[in-house]
Chains A and B, each alone.
Chain A
Amino acid sequence: DGGITQSPKYLFRKEGQNVTLSCEQNLNHDAMYWYRQDPGQGLRLIYYSQIVNDFQKGDIAEGYSVSREKKESFPLTVTSAQKNPTAFYLCASSIDPGQETQYFGPGTRLLVL
């Protein structure tokens, strides 16, 4: 089946620790996105990538980093610089973002111990 997968479903971070959230798609989509969702708020853009080996900061990139070494993969690292990382993280992709819809993965819930 084609789709977007995110892992893990739940992730726990200790203080000062970096953690990496996985996002994989087998849809042959060029564009990929990371969003953060907090209670009572809509989704906010963290990073996006339109092609392999290129990515851009979104509205709330501080404390996060990404890589795009392969077309199908766009991992997000939550660094220790992110002081309030508890949130729901959603990955999305699109084959042609100028024309087509974004499709979302199932999300990762990150909690701080």
Chain B
Amino acid sequence: AQTVTQSQPEMSVQEAETVTLSCTYDTSESNYYLFWYKQPPSRQMILVIRQEAYKQQNATENRFSVNFQKAAKSFSLKISDSQLGDTAMYFCASRNSNSGYALNFGKGTSLLVTP
């Protein structure tokens, strides 16, 4: 079974600072994708960033970047220059080819950005 573990239920960061959210995963697939989704108070799930496992280079999207350590099965999200609008639940997810490529989610990290 594929599992995704987020070990930080809650985190807090001050505006303009940098924060890193942790995620570890377990998969038996050789080629896989990993994702970070953001869920603000509106509860709309928004894709933040995705990483293809066969790519060596870590994905980046503006202030968001990942540290993908394939051997360690680690996939952390770094948010630079944190903004108040980054306050949200953040979910790490892997894709399961055995379930029509449905997503396996971690339990989430609640991030609070303070002024």
Contacts and interface: CB of A to CB of B under 8 A. Distances in A.
Interface stretch (A12-20, A21-29, A75-83, A99-107): A99-107
B100 A48 contact: yes
Nearest to A48: B100
Contacts of A43: 45, 91, 103, 105
Given A90-B45, A101-B50, A104-B44, A56 B103 contact: no
Contacts of A50: 100
A107 B44 contact: yes
A40 B110 CA distance: 10
The contact size tier of chain B is 20 to 34
A8 interface: no
Given A40-B107, A106-B44, A98 B101 contact: yes
A49 B99 CA distance: 10
A21 to B, nearest CB: 15
Interface in B67-92: 91
Interface residues of A, number: 27
Interface string A71-113: 0000000000000000010101010011001111011000000
B4 interface: yes
A106 B95 CA distance: 21
A31 B99 CA distance: 11
B35 interface: yes
A102 B42 CA distance: 18
B100 A97 contact: yes
Residue with the highest number of chain B CB atoms closer than 10 Å, among A88, A92, A104, A107? A104
Contacts of B91: 42-43
A33 B106 CA distance: 17
A11 B114 CA distance: 34
Given A42-B93, A97-B95, A106-B44, 8 more contacts: A43-B105, A49-B100, A56-B99, A58-B99, A97-B101, A97-B102, A102-B103, A106-B42
